Amino acid sequence: MSGGIDSTIAALMLNDEGYEVIGITMKTWDYAASGTSGKKETGCCNLDSFNDARLAAVEHGFAHYVLDIREEFGDAVIENFVDEYLAGRTPNPCVMCNTHIKWNALLKRANMLDCEFIATGHYVNVREENQRYVISKGIDDTKDQSYVLWGLTQECLSRSKYPLGNFHKTEIRQMALDFGYPELAKKSESYEICFVPDNDYRNFLRKKVTGLEERVDGGDFVLTDGTIVGKHKGYPFYTIGQRKGLDIALGKPMYVININPDTNTVVLGDEMDLERDEMLVTRLNMIKYETINDGMEAFTKIRYKSTPTSSNLFNDKGNVNVKFHEPVKGIAPGQSAVFYEGDDVIAGGIIQGGRMLE
């Protein structure tokens, strides 16, 4: 229970259905220790949200606990976040947190408290089919969160409940009103990274990595043919597909096409230079099937808000080579690729890179 509308209503729905509910709020990040105590705390680290979660639990007669997972979160999520940018990649911390931290931490506490299931306010559905637990999209396309849950194990899925999967967000807001929480019904949603409260990841990197700016400032902007066209502020401060904030004028819109951390080089090109027709995906987690058959057709999603693209999947030494039916733009190493069959998640993994069009 983060204190937001989705997790709160999920808990209250299950409570009304007769489940013995225990609310858990996770503290993942310590603003005071990080030097950002003057910033507004957001998401799962907001003290007001902690209090909102506790109040809802007390008013409905079930227990509430705060679970301190700052150490595990720092090791698995924040260090990975920093390391990935230093490797010239674009991380997805929410996927890392869901995969390695939240569900594991919840299951441990569930076992300690003799709870059979854990539940969250994600807009997804899970069912058992052919002795496997399958994630499928929530019915609200605008809120579907199956993309960020591709890393969950079969054990996690077998013990998870998602009460909101068959509802639209408008219905959940109405439920908040019906439960007597008008302020909760109006509560805005945060899309920021919880440990980057001002949404400035570049400043976060500067604070986390001593001397980073001095070390990387002044690298070369180059074109796809290798021509040097200017200097940049340091390769970790750019992402694939970025157009704004380059501070370079070349007479036409230019995009970040590639990042080379070894040479501190950022490659610029036209929008067409972002197109790829093939990519490699590693660190697979199989959901619907145990294996991928060569040539399997799937709709592949390369970002949370991207439109899935028709593709064929091929095994490649334990990884998957994705061949798109039409070129896609902005494939970013470090981001997640999720493969769908209809509304079902086949599998997911981490993007390693794409093949440029010839």
Alpha-carbon distance 21 to 5, whole Å?
Answer: 17
Backbone angles phi, psi at 34, to 5 degrees: -90, -5
| Residue-wise DSSP of 8-60 | HHHHHHHHHTT---EEEEEE---HHHHT-TTSPP-GGG-HHHHHHHHHHHHHT
97 catalytic residue (yes or no):
yes
Place of tokens 């290798």: 226
Q: Which of 45, 94, 156, 194 is catalytic?
A: 194
Specify the DSSP class assigned to residue 131: T
Specify the DSSP class assigned to residue 165: T
Q: Which of 51, 66, 57 has its CA nearest to residue 21?
A: 57
Residue 220 three-state SS: strand
C-alpha distance from residue 140 to each of 34, 45, 145, 157, 169 (Å): 37, 27, 10, 20, 7
For helices 5-16 and 47-59, angle between their N-to-C axes, nearest 10 degrees: 10
Q: What is the token pair recorded at 200? A: 């400035």
115 catalytic residue (yes or no):
no
Do 328 and 313 meet the contact criterion of CB atoms below 8 Å apart? Answer: no
Q: Which of 44, 45, 97, 115 is catalytic?
A: 97
Judged by phi (left if over 0) then psi (alpha if -120 to 50, else beta), residue 189 lies in beta
Known catalytic residues are: 97, 194
